[in-house]
Amino acid sequence: MLEATPKPSPARAPRLRSHRGWPLRRSLLVATIALAGYAWTRHSSVSAVIARNSQPPLQQLSLQQPGSHSGYAHTAAEEMAERASAGGSDEKQESAAGKKYEDVTRTAGAAGGSSSSAPTAGAGGAVGGKAKPREQQQAQGQHSYVPSPFEDALRACSSLSCIREAHKQPKHPGQFNFPHFYLLGFPKCATTSLFHHLIQHPQVMAPIVKEPDFFTNLCKDSAAACDPHEQELYINTTLHRNIALSARMHMAVFEGSTHYSLAGDWLAPQLKELMPWVKLVLSIREPISRAISMLQHNLDHQRFPKCYDRERRLIFKCIKANLEDSSVRYAPRLKAWVENFPGEQLHIMQYEDLTGSGMKTALRDLKRFIGIDPKLPSASPDDLGLHNARRDNYTEGWPMTLQEYRVLVALAREDTGDALSMVARHGVAAASRWQQAWERGWQNNLQRCTQSKQEGDDDALCMIPAS
């Protein structure tokens, strides 16, 4: 009986790997490449900053001392010359911040890493006979940057309390604090124009939005008790912590929430506890024109308060209510800030200086206070470039009787007198000069009203300009 010859088993087809997970992996890969490309194109113009800080003349720009009023060397003759010559959107912001960042990192790499050649232990080198790491690296043809202990500590932070602890670590010369300053307000006092001017400066990092209102909207009157996730978002996204670190802390990080200025009673002492180094910028304006500007803002956005007579365009009741409202009066709001922060960390400006003949001096003084080059941005170092200005929409002014305007002047004079006396005691501002300028404006309007009203007719209307 013949044995059946076993049939050869067919060749086993190679087992194919499952591709069920491939679409997800492909999507993640594409997203990663897209994000990397976006980051590269978005973060490409801060190199000039480190380049400048590496130069000997700018090694004086060191903000390691939080109380330093000015990081820039400036001669008296130069300042006198300046005073004499003076005569007295979110995506765009992120793109500008990113472009600065790329320039900084590119220049730093070419320079060998360190932002300053000053021999400091904080820079990673031993002062004395031993060769510093940077010199050793250059001798070996290597160019790597040694972060400061401050940078290392800041990189690990996801909370405000951690940032406070990070500031106890040594910095390299020229490194800014984080955040370095706040543009506090007041509302309708040219803060938007100041914001747009400052974010053009190569040493300034723009926040993701001008007014995130982090403390006033998300912290419920307790800056230290903000939601941990919100703190992390504020640090990483709003203030661009990682971009600032990539720029080696050579950019001044800030934001401009003007509602902070009105929340000083609780925010000022808490901010002092959390960020004792931070610098604060405030702008104040003649109260009547400020109140009119706020009303115009609301009208432009189709918000018509009950106090406004739309048919006759009468605004007296609205302006009077604003001037009587303690929540927006200067004196009560300023009190907490000047009592909690030393004068060298406060910079208070007059709106009329910023928007008038004193613009050049005011802008340069502000930038010296922050600790950045007062002659930049190069395209318009001394031009504020007004944003949100509404005076052109209301050139005819607002109708009001002489008696009504006198009531408003009395309220405004009381508020400014209290506020300027307070800041003068703290050595913050030229209070008497500001008050005199406002008095001249009030008297000009009173004279205009007196001339326009008929004899014995106290109800005759005159036109009061917004500013």
Closest CA to 105 of 144, 74, 162: 144
Please measure the distance between the N-terminal and C-terminal CA atoms of the chain and give it in whole angstroms: 120
For 412, the enclosing helix (H) or strand (E) is helix 402-425
Q: What is d(CA 275, CA 462) in angstroms, rounded to the nearest whole number?
A: 49
Q: Is 188 a catalytic residue?
A: yes
Q: What are the residues whose beta carbons fall under 8 Å from the beta carbon of 247, sequence distance 6 or more?
A: 46, 49, 50, 100, 101, 104, 105, 205
Q: What is d(CA 453, CA 462) in angstroms, rounded to the nearest whole number?
A: 7
290 annotated as ligand-binding: no
Distances in Å between the Cα of 252 and the Cα atoms of 133, 289, 329 are 27, 32, 30
DSSP states of 237-304? IIS-HHHHHHTTT-SEEEE--THHHHTHHHHHHHHHHH-TT-EEEEEE--HHHHHHHHHHHHHHTT--
Q: What is d(CA 232, CA 235) in angstroms, rounded to the nearest whole number?
A: 5
Is the distance from CB of 184 to CB of 282 less than 8 angstroms? yes
Burial (CB count <10 Å: 0-12, 13-18, 19+), residue 286: buried
Which residue in 100, 132, 171, 188 is the catalytic one? 188
Q: What is d(CA 336, CA 333) in angstroms, rounded to the nearest whole number?
A: 6
Helices vs strands, H then E, count in the chain: 20, 7
Q: What is d(CA 267, CA 264) in angstroms, rounded to the nearest whole number?
A: 5
Residue 279 neighbours by CB distance under 10 Å: 26
**HEC sequence for 325-394:** CCCCCHHHHHHHHHHHCCHHHEEEEEHHHHCCCCHHHHHHHHHHHHCCCCCCCCCCCCCCCCCCCCHHHH
Distances in Å between the Cα of 181 and the Cα atoms of 51, 52, 206 are 23, 21, 12
Helix (H, G, I), strand (E, B) or coil at 90: helix
| Amino acid occupying residue 410 | A
Quote the crossing angle between the two packed helices 264-274 and 330-340, to the nearest 10°. 20
Closest CA to 60 of 201, 174, 181: 174
- Token duo for residue 436: 């005199």
| Amino acid occupying residue 89 | S
313 annotated as ligand-binding: no
Q: Which residues are designated catalytic?
A: 188
Per the annotation, binding residues for 3'-phosphoadenylyl sulfate are 285, 293
